[in-house]
Structure 1
Amino acid sequence: MNFPLIANVVVFAVLLFALGQTRHKQWSLARKVLVGLATGVVFGLALQLIYGSDSQVLKDSIQWFNIVGNGYVQLLQMIVMPLVFASILSAVARLHNASQLGKISF
């Protein structure tokens, strides 16, 4: 690992920590998401302008950044199925008579 790669990963970790500290603020979820999106876009554009699109340092940095990104997406995918199941189960449990069950489908 060379110095620019380590610097990129350290800056990424600092940005993640700073974004994690927004949970202590009384911001809405939409504002937190917007701040995170803007921070990511600015960081990505800065890396693109500094290193260029074909830089090996940038490609290696993206591989390190993807550890966090892929983990986040996989955690979201893992939570979707139980939420869908619980939602369907809750809807069926709220039915008062069994004849309404056929009206839910197409």
Structure 2
Amino acid sequence: MKMLGAFLLVAVLLTGCSEEPEPTGQTFDSDSRSTGLSTGCENSFRAAAQVDPMQDTLKDLYPLFDHCTSIKDWKIGDQAFPEALDGAAIRPLIKTMCRTHKPLKDAVLCLKL
């Protein structure tokens, strides 16, 4: 009789553990990284990070200048997608690109410098 009671207790405990959690109504992308960046900035960093390192050029970073308008955005993006900047120092990279790449001369970030 004790054996039956123990078996029932274990069965009840296992049944309680196997219930699926209640749905919350939230969905998450499996590749989503919660960065706090604007969608455009985050997508630009994600795209730059996905470029083949053997084929990337500085032009791959141009969208960052359109969508990431502060040094803070760049720092957050670099932390979330380190492959995008490959360890480059952010401020010198931005200053150099703003000064030497004519298509970036009117970018919001370049105008702030």
Fold in common (TM above 0.5): no
TM-score by length of 1: 0.28
Say which structure is richer in helix.
1
Q: Kindly name which structure, 1 or 2, has the bigger radius of gyration based on alpha carbons.
A: 2
Higher relative CO (Cα under 8 Å, sequence separation at least 6) belongs to: 1
Q: TM-score, normalised by structure 2?
A: 0.26
